[in-house]
Amino acid sequence: MQISSKNHWDLLAALAGILFTLAFSPFDYPYLAPLALSLLFASWQNTTPRRALLRGYLFGLGSFGLGVSWVYISIHDFGGAHWLSSGLLTVLFFGFWALFPALAGYFSVKILTGNRTLISVWVMPIVWLLIEYFRGNCLLNGFPWLQSAYSQLDTPLAGYIPIIGVYGTGFLVALTASSVAFIFQTRRHRLLLTTFIITLWATGSVLQSIKWTHAIGKPVQVSLIQGNITQDQKWRPENKLKTLQLYKELTEAHWDSAVVIWPETSIPAYLSEVNDWFLQPLSNAAQQHNTDLIVSLPAHGNSTDEKYNAVMTLGKETGLYRKKHLLPFGEYLPWQPVSGFILNSLAIKLGNFTPGDIDQPLLKAGGYSFITSICYEDAFGDADLTGLPDAAYLVNVTNDGWFGNSIEPHQHLQMARMRAVETGRFMLRATNTGVTAVIAPDGKIISQAPLFTATVLTETITPMAGMTPYANRGDTPFIIVLLILLFGFLVYGRLSPITSI
């Protein structure tokens, strides 16, 4: 049976979605990202908005269906839900996020409507990135997973990251893809567009040699503890003392480090429950050894109903950071009371935390201030700019134990690498089960611990000062430029008959 041209492009769009996810960690085939997007953009040429909507959705199903499949592990293995309800919620989850590539297809074709000029090379990438920005920042507190630029940390396009950040670099990925699609579909302006692509990527390679920030002070020795306490054991009351003793012993073996970092909620008890008999003696011991500790635990606010996911410094400097950017359906329940009713019906019990204040003072350890992020917070570029230029390095504590031996910990590490490049600072990432890592200002991994192993990662980092162009401006100016360009193309756009592929 012969497959129609329409069905051929529909299937190709779904395949392109799978290829797109293979560009990210742990697969790490970065050049598949522009290839996948070029196939998607080609499928949107000469078709109707509704067909482009369908193809964008099929792309999203392929991409998110593979890329966020780890949600099932979190819901079923650690959330305690039945396999059937876990599977249903997982399908609903990636099916929902697949709507965003679909919207990108619909609006791109709606704006272009038969336009075969060079304008079409720009419109699709602009719409793609604006939709990515909306998905990553606006809806449900933002879900920036599988954004185009994260796949490019080891390609020449990484040279643009300190200048225009994750969204600007993602736009260049999409612009490359759109140019390739235009070349092969219209066979016009081949020389111009080929020269443009080569120049774009060659410039990125040159930009990688520029150092936007500089070292200050002496190198600092740091130790990152990976306790490897599995999620199903972590909060059992009978394991609390054993867990605290493990972290205490691993810390005492590294008093020669200036900074020792524990992962997210490494202390399985509220601050008020362990402060007097455990934390204060530990803080005194750290001060005697001239070491600063960075630990993580939940903390109550003014009432027992007010709960924070927090990071605390002990030793010479004491302070408390309260997580600002909470994870929807993990640390708080949006769309109440509907979401709470559904999850309770499925016997899924999740946390209900309070977000910390936006403007919190920087914590200090090892003689320098640092920017703190807890778990999901390192997925947001703007969040790591608040403490600059005062912060000398970045610290992320996380617990990817919720996702078992899946692709999620590798994807999350890739996002942490992006924050290091955007700010031009070392990133110290301490995790419960992995991947614990020390990341250089250029995004390269200096060292990392193996997954699911109790270990301590010790390295030397250099405190950094200065500001990258991106750190000075953030995402907003670039997004405004894209909106202005899109408005200009809308005004200039032509209304001509459309033909379906």
**Digit-coded pLDDT (tens) for 442-454:** 999 999 999 999 9
- Look at residue 3 in the predicted model and tell me its pLDDT: 44
188 and 233 share a domain? no
Structure tokens at 361: 């003072």
367: left (phi over 0), alpha (psi -120 to 50) or beta: left
375 part of the active site: yes
d(C-alpha 302, C-alpha 28), whole Å: 46
Query: In the structure encoding, which two tokens stand for residue 206, read together?
Result: 């040159």
Closest Cα to residue 131, out of 155, 114, 113, 110?
A: 110
Q: How high is the pLDDT of residue 4?
A: 55
Long-range Cβ contact pairs of 486-495 (< 8 A, separation 24 or more): 486/111, 486/123, 486/126, 486/127, 486/130, 489/111, 489/119, 489/122, 489/123, 489/126, 490/111, 492/119, 493/111, 493/112, 493/113, 493/115, 493/119, 494/113, 494/114, 494/115, 495/113, 495/114
User: Above 60 in pLDDT, residue 344?
Assistant: no
Do 143 and 263 belong together in one domain? Answer: no
Residue 400 pLDDT grade (very low, low, confident, very high; cuts 50, 70, 90): confident
Identify the CA nearest to 119 among candidates 182, 180, 201: 182
Q: What is the pLDDT of residues 16-64, one digit of tens each?
A: 999 999 999 999 999 999 999 999 999 998 889 999 999 999 999 999 9
**Residue 226 near residue 449 (C-beta atoms within 8 A):** yes
**Residue 205: CA atoms inside 13 Å, Cβ hemisphere, count?**
7
pLDDT of residue 331: 63
Q: Regarding predicted confidence, which is higher, 109 or 334?
A: 109
Give the pLDDT of residue 500.
37
pLDDT at 340 over 60: no
Q: Where do we find the tokens 């600059």? A: 388
Q: Indicate whether 139 pLDDT > 90.
A: no
Q: Report which of residues 196 and 118 the model is more confident about.
A: 196
Strand, coil or helix: 388: coil
The tokens describing 371, both together, are 């920017």
Distance CA 118, CA 115 (A): 9
Instruction: Check pLDDT > 60 for residue 494.
Output: no
**Looking at the domain assignment, is residue 346 inside a domain?**
no
Q: 297 Cβ partners below 8 Å, 6+ apart?
A: 265, 266, 267, 268, 269, 270, 271, 274, 310, 312
Check whether residue 35 and residue 91 sit in a common domain.
yes
Same domain, 281 and 430: yes
Question: Is position 229 within any domain?
Answer: yes
Task: Using pLDDT thresholds of 50, 70 and 90, give the confidence band for residue 330.
Answer: low
- Neighbour tally for 56: CB within 10 Å: 29
Specify the CATH number for the domain of residue 292: 3.60.110.10
188: pLDDT strictly greater than 80: no
Least confident of 123-132, 172-181, 200-209, 354-363: 354-363
Domain residue limits at 56: 5-211+475-492
Give the span between the Cα atoms of 403 and 73, in whole angstroms: 6
pLDDT for residue 332 is more than 60:
no
Residue 185 pLDDT greater than 80, yes or no: no
Order of strands across the sheet with 437-439? Answer: 363-365, 368-374, 393-398, 427-431, 437-439, 445-448
Q: How much is the pLDDT for 303?
A: 79
In the set 307, 323, 324, 364, the catalytic residue is 323
Print burial letters for 88-124: b (CB count within 10 Å at least 16), e (below 16). ebbeebbeebbbbbbbbbbbbbbbbeebeeeebbbbb
Task: Tell me, yes or no, whether 337 lies in a domain.
Answer: no
pLDDT tens sequence across 232-281: 788 888 999 999 999 999 999 999 999 999 999 999 999 999 999 999 99
Residue 421 has pLDDT above 90, yes or no: yes
Beta-bridged to residue 293, according to DSSP, are 260, 314
Quote the Cα angle for 427-431-434, to 5°. 105
The reply to whether 72 and 44 lie within a common domain is: yes
As a whole number, mean pLDDT of residues 167-196 equals 91
Domain count, the chain: 2
C-alpha 331, offset from chain centre: 17
Model confidence at 2: pLDDT above 50 = no
Classify residue 10: in a domain, yes or no.
Answer: yes
Domain check: are 168 and 307 in the same one? Answer: no
| Secondary structure (DSSP) of 2-50 | PPPHHHHHHHHHHHHHHHHHTTSTTT--TTHHHHHHHHHHHHTTTS-HH
How many angstroms separate the CA atoms of 244 and 269, rounded? Answer: 10
Catalytic residue among 264, 331, 408, 422: 264
d(CA 57, CA 172): 22
Amino acid 115: pLDDT: 59
Burial of 6 (0-12, 13-18, 19+ CB in 10 A): middle
Does 347 map to a domain? Answer: no
Question: Is pLDDT at 191 greater than 70 in this prediction?
Answer: yes
Q: Cβ neighbours of residue 291 under 8 Å, at least 6 residues apart?
A: 254, 255, 257, 258, 259, 260, 315
Asked if residue 102 belongs to a domain, the reply is yes
Same domain, yes or no, for 316 and 435?
Answer: yes
Higher-pLDDT residue of 119 and 400 is: 400
Same domain, 297 and 416: yes
For residue 99, being part of any structural domain is answered with yes
pLDDT of 338 strictly over 70: no
DSSP state letters, 297-310: EEEE-SSTT-EEEE
Backbone angles phi, psi at 360, to 5 degrees: -120, 140
Active site residue 238: no
| 144 and 269 both lie in a single domain | no
Known catalytic residue: 138? no
Mean pLDDT across the chain? 89
Say if CB 437 and CB 445 are below 8 A apart.
Answer: yes
pLDDT confidence of residue 464:
97
pLDDT of residue 1: 34
| Helices (H), ranges, 214-360 | 231-234, 240-252, 271-274, 280-288, 338-345
Q: How confident is the model at residue 256, as a pLDDT?
A: 97
Inter-CA distances, 110 with 137, 240, 480, 491, Å? 24, 58, 21, 13
Claim to verify: residue 139 and residue 280 sit in the same structural domain = no
3-state helix, strand, coil in the chain (%, to 5): 50, 15, 35
Phi, psi of 30 (to 5 degrees): -60, -30
Question: Does residue 265 share a domain with residue 292?
Answer: yes
Is the Cβ–Cβ distance between 197 and 234 less than 8 Å?
no
Put the strands of the sheet holding 292-300 in their side by side order: 319-322, 307-314, 292-300, 259-261, 220-226, 455-461
d(CA 410, CA 282): 32
Contact 265, 298 (CB under 8 A): yes
Q: 270 by DSSP, 3-state: which?
A: coil
Higher pLDDT, 282 or 336: 282
- In-domain check, residue 45: yes
CA distance linking residue 283 with residue 318, whole number of Å: 9
Within this chain, do residues 206 and 249 fall inside the same structural domain, yes or no?
A: no
